[in-house]
Amino acid sequence: MSLVINELCVNCWACEPLCPNDAIIEAKPHFKIIADKCTECLGDYDDAQCASICPIEGAIVDEFDEPLNPPGSLTGIPYELAVQLIEKGRIAEAEAAKRGPREYLD
């Protein structure tokens, strides 16, 4: 049982210090959850800590690939529009990944 950080992650570091099990690591091209260490915070907190602070809709998913923060749930942007934006983000990310390691752009 473990949560997963996907390519929508913007590497903001917010989740990393909160994990009670040190399961989150900085990695390229984005942060990762070490599956063996993640307990989904059971026994420590009511809510999965990483998913409770992550600002990016869709970036943290469960074992069925269901996002803990679905489109629109954090930003208030209407669902359909939020889905489109996330899709766009995914395409841009995939293209950026092809170009090489993520860099901070101006």
Report the site for other proteins in 48-67 (rule: CB under 8 A).
Answer: 49, 52-53, 55-56
75 binds, among ligand SF4, other proteins, none (CB under 5 to 8 A by kind): other proteins
Q: How far apart are CA 99 and CA 76, in angstroms?
A: 32
Residue ranges in 23-82 that form contacts with ligand SF4 under rule CB under 6 A: 23-24, 31, 33, 38-41, 48-50, 53-54, 56, 59-60
DSSP 25: E
Structure token digits, residue 63: 């074992």
Cα separation of 61 and 51, whole Å?
9
Chosen from other proteins, ligand SF4, none, partner binding at 105 (C-beta under 5 to 8 Å by type):
other proteins
